[in-house]
Chain A
């Protein structure tokens, strides 16, 4: 009894934090709103500690097979927790969010972390649908949280429309799968598919439709259209979170879906089911996603849109690893997600620091950034680290991440796909390096110097940069932890 509770403790802690924050909102006046980020931070930090105590336990399923608790879900909870903590630090003190009701913002952000954790644990299609919907609803709300801003509400309208359609398609896909197999748990579906023959067309249709929901979350083609607009319109501190948190949650559920429902364990390891051509489907999706992301990113003027398209491209790289559908793919995706979390949040944080002071989010604010005083010079170095890492240049962590991703693809024998992935990285070099170039070789448009921002922002951005370099040099520790992760 007591043992079982430890599994569910992280979710419990975050739920209690959310409900406590809601209650607190009723009793606390306008003056002491500063306490909300603190409590949210403590709640999520406590979740990560609880998560640590549940990590050595063996996998288990609870609540009549509704949820599965395994090493992968533990790792994902660390990723979500870290993203949540950094998002709280970033949002606390950002100029853009000054007029936003802090109590609601941090409560809903914590609830969003809860939704992502549930998504990583889901083992039943209803749980998948429910938690996906929870993540989506909260993302719409937080995207539209800048009340005075036209861009913010427009972005959330576009988001909610694309999201509503994607979830409708996904619900229909799930109903077809239910009709075909009569089971709604991931392993139940896999079991049925192993024992019985089903119609190929129907299964393919249902997988495609379910992929609409997941593809919407990770922003893969053809459900990426919302991404640039929403990233641009949402408040930047939330965009930063959106680009790593829900995306990681989407990949968590993708891993579960493909490894749980659509593969089978054979003597030689895990293999995708033969009845439908999953590798072809995923390979096509991932190539389309990364190519479109990279080509569109080349022509962007707004830094937020550039990072939006770059995040689409990164989703493509991670989908590429799923093509392999082997144990290395799980390692590759989780390792890449943790590295991507660091470097992408870092890049956004630099943008927030610079954008808050210079009042623009175009790429042009980076012109001559290195010449805007001592802090700006330091910040330019940090930004260079993130840009190099996003490209995948050694010795940054992004290189190691890509190494693992492409390694799993090569190991499964899809050489063409790996080559296309590497070519795409080369294309991405152009737009990342352009940012670095204008920071160092262009002259600033005006004489304003960058002042030192608040301590929490400055220390976070440097910590993220140091971690990015550190993981690029000493990746073994993280790779070992991730490599031992067992799904189900």
Chain B
């Protein structure tokens, strides 16, 4: 059962990721990206990272993708703007790099075939409680610094998007 879910969601996310990079229309690419992110969120769920799965949907599908869609609509890109894929020189290099990397990683990690369910994780694994304990314990300082970083990013984004002063 789990295996079926795994194949379905990983197939879904890989297929829609391919759509992201091959759709000529930016809006369709963005929608395909939402599907990819959803598929990855489901994979998180299969790995018992329930909190992360929820965050993935909330942060990415909820916030990040809305930003993307906003920008796409604001730009109102005409049909001709929607890009020609240059499958020339760069494209070939890209495909080769990607395939090599995939092969390298696949051959390497096929060796790691310990069954995932061998570990007894306990009931708290992946819950909000256990992530929260780490966030406000061991990872407190990165957590606090992230708040400064987000503040700075907001101010910076506003600075950039604001109209120039006369």
Instruction: Name A's B-contacting residues (CB within 8 A).
Output: 15, 18-19, 22, 63-64, 66-67, 99, 101, 104, 107-108, 111, 114, 118, 124, 126-127, 130-131, 133-134, 137-138, 140-141, 144-145, 147-148, 153, 156, 176, 179, 199, 201-202, 205
Contacts and interface: CB of A to CB of B under 8 A. Distances in A.
Nearest to A153: B160
A111 B148 contact: yes
Contacts of A67: 141
A127 B142 contact: yes
B152 A126 contact: no
Contact of A141 (B111, B112, B159): B159
Contacts of A156: 160
Contacts of B153: 137
Nearest to B164: A147
Given A137-B153, A145-B159, A148-B164, A63 B108 contact: no
Interface string B128-166: 000000000111111001101101110111011011110
A138 B151 contact: no
Contacts of B137: 64
A420 B165 CA distance: 50
A99 B140 CA distance: 39
Given A66-B142, A130-B142, A134-B149, 18 more contacts: A22-B155, A64-B139, A66-B139, A101-B165, A111-B148, A114-B148, A118-B145, A124-B142, A127-B141, A130-B149, A134-B145, A137-B149, A138-B152, A141-B157, A141-B159, A145-B160, A147-B164, A179-B112
Interface residues of B, number: 28
B74 interface: no
Contact of B156 (A18, A131, A141): A141
A472 B112 CA distance: 55
B145 A144 contact: no
B155 A66 contact: no
8 contacts: A18-B148, A22-B155, A66-B139, A134-B145, A147-B160, A147-B163, A176-B105, A205-B104
Given A99-B164, A101-B165, A108 B156 contact: yes
B148 A15 contact: yes
A1 B141 CA distance: 17
A201 B108 CA distance: 7
Contact of A104 (B105, B112, B159): B159
Contact of B159 (A101, A118, A131): A101
A147 B152 contact: no
B155 to A, nearest CB: 7
B67 to A, nearest CB: 14
A275 B34 CA distance: 41
Task: Point out which of B112, B137, B140, B164 has the most chain A C-beta atoms below 10 A from its C-beta.
Answer: B164
A458 to B, nearest CB: 28
B145 A201 contact: no
A329 to B, nearest CB: 29
Contacts of B164: 99, 147-148
Nearest to B105: A205
Contacts of A141: 156-157, 159-160
A257 to B, nearest CB: 18
A126 B139 contact: yes
Nearest to B162: A147
Contacts of A15: 148
A201 B152 contact: no
B142 A126 contact: yes
A99 B165 contact: yes
- What 10 pairs between A and B have smallest CB-CB spacing? A141-B156, A147-B164, A63-B141, A64-B138, A148-B164, A202-B108, A104-B159, A134-B149, A111-B152, A66-B141
Contacts of A176: 105
A22 B149 contact: no
B127 to A, nearest CB: 21
Contacts of B111: 199
A108 B152 contact: yes
Contacts of B140: 63
A21 to B, nearest CB: 10
Contacts of B112: 179
A145 B155 CA distance: 12
Interface in B36-71: none
Given A67-B141, A101-B159, A147-B164, A130 B146 contact: yes
Contacts of A144: 160
Contacts of A202: 108-109
Given A66-B141, A138-B156, A201-B108, A133 B149 contact: yes
Contacts of B160: 141, 144-145, 147, 153, 156
Interface in B81-98: none
Nearest to A62: B141
A209 to B, nearest CB: 9
A176 B138 CA distance: 22
Contact of B104 (A104, A137, A179, A201): A201
B77 to A, nearest CB: 16
Nearest to B148: A15
Contacts of A66: 138-139, 141-142
Nearest to A131: B145
A22 B150 CA distance: 13
Contacts of B155: 22, 104, 107-108
Contacts of A179: 109, 112
A72 B128 CA distance: 38
Contacts of A108: 152, 155-156, 159
